């Protein structure tokens, strides 16, 4: 009785009144700590998976933007800047009454007015222009619209007309060589050789870029590698299988090279005394001279143009992922089916999302949306 009475008195003490609730709340505090810990694990897993998906998508689609921009550059802007070296090298008109008063013209114009090289706008009378401004979204790269001998209108289409195998294609202006001194022996052969070297190297750049892109886009290898390196819950062979399957059809972008075999140059028929006898044909079959056809530009096939239109609107990628086990043995995956997602966009400043050919513009960019 004494001890019972003493216990009752103790419980009436204010200090003792917090003892019982504290004992009852201790398990709740432990439970809250476990809940916070498990919630943090789930949150960390989702953040890691989201980063992996974003990184993988950006890496894979960036390879496509790099390739398309490279092809757009070799499709005219690059050879144009190289051939523009000849804008300050002039040739004189022949001394006849009909040519009296004519000013010298540049060697560059021989090729530009003959369809040998396109030019960046806006001045298409000479084709000699400054570099476009950084913010420009239309470089206006076109062939001379007034070419009389072999117009390039059929070339400047999304699906250009192929040249017949028996056609000789001029890449210089016959009329200008008729009216101006362009002797082959003095410097004509050197200029022609430099022109051929320019387009041979341009074609080599195109082939190298195409080879690399085919390798990194095969089976979306960059996407799967990037996802694998940023997570630790999947096998390298089949990591991110669902989202990879969603992206795979759209990164198999291919271009077709437009090449020439039978190319016609011109040079002045100059005698020993220096008189001008008109323009002579200098016909060079490329398969004999350089053992291959001469690259001019590359264009997208219809399937790739369709894929780019879809990529311009955005591809939604959705990837389910595994959650770590928890102390409560609750299968959260079965209940909530967790996943991460994003929308990857590959676009250029054109409504049809084709900045490769015609009027190439190397300004493809990649953006990620939630």
Q: How far is CA 229 from CA 50, 56, 59, 145, 240, in A?
A: 13, 9, 12, 52, 11
| β partners of residue 263 | 169, 284
> Which residue in 107, 101, 97, 115 sits closest to 168, CA to CA?
115
Whether 15 has a pLDDT exceeding 60, the answer reads no
CA distance 161 to 155: 6
Tens of pLDDT along 72-111? Answer: 999 999 999 999 999 999 998 887 655 666 889 999 999 9
In this prediction the pTM is 0.88
Q: Is the pLDDT of residue 239 over 60?
A: yes
CA distance 351 to 359: 14
Please give the torsion angle defined by the CA atoms of residues 142, 113, 201 and 214, in that order, rounded to the nearest 10 degrees: 30
| pLDDT value of position 256 | 97
Q: In the prediction, which pLDDT does 185 show?
A: 76
Instruction: Give yes or no for residue 60 having a pLDDT over 60.
Output: yes
Which alpha helices (H) appear in the chain, and where do they start and end? 2-12, 19-74, 77-83, 107-112, 174-179, 189-217, 221-230, 241-251, 286-289, 302-313, 332-336
Residue 118: how many CB atoms within 10 A of its CB? 28
Provide the pLDDT for residue 10. Answer: 58
Mean pLDDT of 294-300: 98
Q: What are φ and ψ of residue 69, in 5° steps?
A: -65, -35
- How large is the average pLDDT for residues 45-69? 95
The DSSP H or E segment spanning 263 is strand 262-270
Distance separating alpha carbons of residues 297 and 222, to the nearest angstrom: 27
pLDDT at 235: 82
Give the tens place of pLDDT for each residue, 164-184: 989 999 999 999 999 898 988
The set of residues, in sequence order, having a beta carbon less than 8 Å from that of 304 and lying 6+ positions away, is 253, 254, 255
Q: Which residues pair with 276 in a beta bridge?
A: 270
What per-residue confidence (pLDDT) applies to 272? Answer: 45
Residue 258: its H or E element: strand 255-260
Both structure tokens of 132: 């476009």
What is the tens place of the pLDDT at every residue in 245-268?
A: 999 999 999 999 999 999 999 998
Query: For residue 11, is pLDDT > 70?
Result: no
Task: Report the DSSP beta bridge partners of residue 328.
Answer: none
């Amino acid at each position: 009785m004494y001890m019972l009475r003493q216990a009752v008195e103790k419980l009436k003490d204010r200090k003792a009144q917090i003892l019982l609730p504290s004992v009852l709340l201790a398990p709740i505090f432990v439970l809250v700590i476990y809940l916070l810990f498990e919630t943090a694990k789930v949150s960390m897993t989702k953040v890691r998976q989201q980063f992996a998906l974003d990184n993988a998508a950006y890496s894979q689609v960036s390879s496509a933007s790099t390739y398309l921009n490279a092809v757009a550059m070799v499709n005219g802007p690059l050879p144009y800047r190289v051939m523009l070296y000849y804008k300050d090298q002039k040739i004189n008109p022949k001394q006849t009454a009909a040519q009296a008063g004519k000013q010298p013209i540049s060697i560059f114009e021989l090729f530009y007015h003959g369809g040998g090289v396109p030019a960046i706008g806006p001045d298409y009378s000479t084709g000699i222009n400054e570099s476009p401004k950084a913010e420009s979204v239309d470089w206006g790269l076109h062939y001379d619209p007034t070419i009389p001998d072999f117009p390039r209108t059929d070339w400047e289409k999304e699906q250009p007309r192929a040249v017949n195998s028996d056609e000789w294609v001029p890449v210089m202006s016959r009329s200008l060589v008729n009216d101006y001194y362009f002797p082959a022996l003095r410097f004509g052969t050197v200029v022609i050789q430099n022109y051929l070297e320019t387009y041979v190297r341009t074609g080599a750049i195109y082939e190298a870029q195409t080879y690399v892109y085919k390798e990194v886009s095969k089976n979306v290898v960059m996407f799967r590698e990037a996802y694998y390196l940023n997570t630790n819950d999947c096998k390298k062979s089949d990591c991110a299988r669902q989202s990879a399957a969603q992206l795979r059809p759209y990164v198999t972008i291919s271009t077709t090279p437009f090449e020439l075999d039978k190319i016609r140059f011109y040079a002045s028929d100059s005698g020993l005394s220096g008189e001008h006898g008109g323009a002579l044909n200098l016909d060079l079959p490329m398969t004999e001279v350089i053992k291959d056809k001469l690259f001019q530009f590359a264009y997208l096939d219809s399937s790739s143009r369709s894929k780019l239109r879809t990529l311009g609107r955005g591809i939604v990628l959705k990837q389910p992922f595994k959650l770590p086990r928890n102390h409560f043995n609750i299968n959260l995956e079965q209940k909530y089916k967790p996943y991460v997602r994003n929308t990857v966009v590959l676009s250029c400043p054109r409504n049809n999302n084709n900045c490769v050919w015609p009027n190439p513009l190397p300004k493809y960019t990649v953006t990620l949306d939630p």
